[in-house]
Amino acid sequence: MGTLNELFDPDRVAVVGATAREGAVGRAVTSNLLADFAGETVPVNPNYDEVLGTACVDAVGEADADVAVVVVPPSIVLDAIEACGEAGVENVVVITAGFGETGEDGAARERRLAEIADEYDLNLVGPNSLGIMSTPSGMNATFGPENALPGGLSFMSQSGAFVTAVLDWANDNGVGFKDVVSLGNKAVLDETDFVDHWGDDEGTDVIIGYLEGIEDGREFIETARETAADTPIVAVKSGRTSAGAQAASSHTGTLAGSEKAYEAGLDQAGVIRAESVDELFDAAGILGSQPLPDTDSVAIVTNAGGPGVMATDAVGDAGLELASFTGETTEALRESMPEEANVHNPVDVIGDADVDRFREALETVLADGNVGAALVLAAPTATLEFDELGEAVRETVEGFDAPVAACLMGGDRTREPKRKLQAAGIPCYFDPARGIESLATLAEYRDIRRREYAAPMSFDVDRERARDVLSSVHDRDDNRLGVEAMELLDAYGIPTPDGEIVDSPGRASEVAAGIDGDVVMKIVSPDVLHKSDIGGVAVGVADADVADTYEDLITRARNYQPDATILGVQVQEMVDLDDGVETIVGMNRDPQFGPLVMFGLGGIFVEVMEDTAFRVAPVSEPEAREMTEEIRSAPLLRGARGRDPVDVDAVVETIGRLSQLVTDFPAILELDVNPLVALPDADGGTNVAAVDVRLTVDPEELDSEEPNQ
């Protein structure tokens, strides 16, 4: 696959299947191209000499095109693409539908299409695409009703209908684009390819996407990270992948839906996520036109008390803060404002303010080094002309580096001033909260740019021993492993308490005698998903009761499921839960993003608490640490209500070791360490203990992995 420069900037575009027949897609595409495209449009159709007044060639081989747009019927589309390849056309946009989206036959045709593309090294968009656009040359190679206005946004969409809807809206609102692509079924080119291309594209200021899925999560994360360091990426993600919803047999599997994977993956990729179309274009608009703020502190200048309070609330909700002004600023405001004005943030220039007072106040706060960004917020009054205010804002911001947004609250009177502000790159809204959220997007992107990505955590581990433990699935007809696989953790340096699995009451007593103090005893059975649910865990068993408890646990398992496979009873050292915190570290393999690591508050109520953080593995140290900081119960780890803080470093290290384990072994489909007991920092001691493990292994995948890779 070559670069995509020619795809968006061709000299000649062939329309394979061009026609003048009313209502045909081939007509719409041809006429759209003929309307504005600065290059040559070449209709291809053996049935015509000309189409819409333009000479038509018989075959794509005669078109000498850089891009071929294919609109022929599904039955001949593969031949048409092959002909493009033979003719040396490197870029092909397949508009024809009837592929993977239509069932088995279509899916087979789509696989064949991908093979042909591969054979000829084609940059292929689609199939089932609305087409592509690029405004510098006026190229509209779509069958949509509108061409885009020129601008700095490059837009990819997995839905063609969404493209036409957005363009219709954007044209009314003066929002312009550099390139537009309807991704279609993404048989060849996908979101990662376009992010990669636009990251290096001069004319693209902001990349925006409407995505329903991501083909290769890990690749996307890596490419997007690099791109987002220079070019902001904003995406709306909709839809849930059903492939992710296989029946889970772990806590992590239950909690880690595909939505969590996208949330984590897009965040790690440095993609700003929008929840709605409004948010998408608010974010894209301000990112494309305003500078980034140095700090999170916002100044608000308003003539309206109530909306000022709304904006102030929004500042807190958006994770920003109200700037506190320097003495100099307050002094200057006091001098220039009437006595009743509020010279602290939010600055209230009060109801009788005219444009000069607004201008003065805005100038003063923007000159304050404590101010990272400013919002001008005005309600209509008899003394204020919105048009003049807009002009004053446009002039004032010229002299400063901080981003500014405006909220003009009103109806018709705001239309013209708003248009002029937006044309000058100053976003303008009605709702104060929307203004603040847009400023918050700038702060979010600034933080993304400042990110330093660290290498994944990596430790000296005993990979061969881990493989041996995993291979034990070969000797049984169940691919779920429980505490009998505890050694797996040990091989990766994750501390586990002493313990042994025994198959008789006598042996249980012997093992217990060798362990200091009371013991914990657990039923060991692949058929028992959560042992304590069936009374299969006995905590604090005195040596004298060990033999009876053994019998008791076996009986409980038998009562629960008479034919359950029982591997024995684990006799385990007790871990001090009074001072410790039960956490969970786990992994679920996501179809798009691969291993998704989870950390959270653990114990038997994990699903009830749902206090968890996710990252796509392999994770770096800062990422693992963030996970321990972002759960709601984070204060518990750091010592709440007079308790000693636990050894967070040991927890972070455990997350890293587990991340390494699941990255090393794709055969591990899901895994829970629950609980991982985090203990107070005791010098030199082991401050975490993995007391339980549960995992599912894919035996075939295990065999296909290269040993010692």
Please give the residue ranges that form the binding site for Mg ion (CB under 5 A). Answer: 674, 692
* Torsion angle (degrees, nearest 10) of CA 391, 397, 399, 402: 180
What is the rounded CA–CA span in Å between residue 5 and residue 2?
9
Q: Which of residues 639-698 bind ligand ADP (CB under 6 A)?
A: 674-675, 691-692
Q: Which of residues 575-634 bind ligand ADP (CB under 6 A)?
A: 575, 577, 582, 603-604
Q: Are 110 and 129 in contact (CB under 8 A)?
A: no
Q: Which of residues 43-62 bind ligand ADP (CB under 6 A)?
A: none
Query: Which of residues 90 and 692 has its CB atom nearest to Mg ion in the complex?
Result: 692
Asked if 192 interacts with ligand ADP (CB under 6 A), we say no
Nearest distance in Å: CB 627, ligand ADP: 20
Give the residues across from 177 on adjacent strands: 153
Query: Which of residues 34 and 577 has its CB atom nearest to ligand ADP in the complex?
Result: 577
The DSSP H or E segment spanning 302 is strand 297-302
User: Binding residue for ligand ADP (CB under 6 A) from 178, 531, 615, 657?
Assistant: 531
Stretch that binds ligand ADP, among 13-21, 224-232, 252-260, 524-532 (CB under 6 A): 524-532
Signed CA dihedral, 280, 282, 285, 287: sign only: negative
Nearest distance in Å: CB 540, ligand ADP: 8
The DSSP H or E segment spanning 575 is none
- Look up residue 247 and give its DSSP letter: P
Asked if 497 interacts with ligand ADP (CB under 6 A), we say yes
Asked if 480 interacts with ligand ADP (CB under 6 A), we say no
The one of Mg ion, ligand ADP, none whose footprint includes residue 532, by CB under 5 to 8 A per kind, is ligand ADP
Query: Which of residues 108 and 542 has its CB atom nearest to ligand ADP in the complex?
Result: 542
Query: Which of residues 282 and 672 has its CB atom nearest to Mg ion in the complex?
Result: 672
How many Cβ atoms from other residues are within 10 Å of residue 219's Cβ?
Answer: 15
Query: Which of residues 233 and 606 has its CB atom nearest to Mg ion in the complex?
Result: 606
User: Binding residue for ligand ADP (CB under 6 A) from 539, 547, 609, 634?
Assistant: 539
Stretch that binds ligand ADP, among 301-309, 356-364, 454-462, 573-581 (CB under 6 A): 573-581
The one of ligand ADP, Mg ion, none whose footprint includes residue 497, by CB under 5 to 8 A per kind, is ligand ADP
Query: Which of residues 63 and 557 has its CB atom nearest to ligand ADP in the complex?
Result: 557
Q: What angle do helix axes 648-664 and 621-630 make, rounded to 10 degrees?
A: 120
Burial group, residue 214, by CB count within 10 angstroms (0-12, 13-18, 19+): buried
Asked if 254 interacts with ligand ADP (CB under 6 A), we say no
Nearest distance in Å: CB 569, Mg ion: 16
Nearest distance in Å: CB 674, Mg ion: 4
Query: Which of residues 89 and 584 has its CB atom nearest to Mg ion in the complex?
Result: 584
DSSP track, 7-23 = HHS-SEEEEET----TT
Query: Which of residues 343 and 528 has its CB atom nearest to ligand ADP in the complex?
Result: 528
- Look up residue 145 and give its DSSP letter: S
Asked if 574 interacts with ligand ADP (CB under 6 A), we say yes
Nearest distance in Å: CB 167, Mg ion: 53
Query: Which of residues 322 and 577 has its CB atom nearest to ligand ADP in the complex?
Result: 577
Stretch that binds ligand ADP, among 3-11, 14-22, 570-578, 655-663 (CB under 6 A): 570-578
Query: Which of residues 211 and 538 has its CB atom nearest to Mg ion in the complex?
Result: 538
The one of Mg ion, ligand ADP, none whose footprint includes residue 218, by CB under 5 to 8 A per kind, is none
- For 459-481, b/e burial (b = at least 16 CB within 10 A) is eebebeebbebbeebeeeeebbb
**Cis peptide upstream of residue 618 (ω within 30 degrees of 0):** yes
Write the CA distances from 27 to 7, 16, 75, 220, 585, integer angstroms: 21, 11, 19, 36, 57
Q: Who's near 590: CB < 8 A, 6+ residues apart?
A: 217, 244, 256, 258, 261, 596, 616
The one of Mg ion, ligand ADP, none whose footprint includes residue 270, by CB under 5 to 8 A per kind, is none
Nearest distance in Å: CB 495, Mg ion: 16
Nearest distance in Å: CB 102, ligand ADP: 45
Q: Which two tokens stand for residue 451?
A: 């990110």
Helix (H, G, I), strand (E, B) or coil at 63: coil
Residue nearest Mg ion, CB atom distance: 692
Q: Write the single-letter amino acid at 597.
A: V
Q: Who's near 339: CB < 8 A, 6+ residues apart?
A: none
What is the rounded CA–CA span in Å between residue 103 and residue 108?
9
What is the rounded CA–CA span in Å between residue 145 and residue 192?
27
Helix (H, G, I), strand (E, B) or coil at 517: coil
Binding interface with ligand ADP (CB under 6 A): 497, 520, 522, 530-532, 537, 539, 572, 574-575, 577, 582, 603-604, 674-675, 691-692
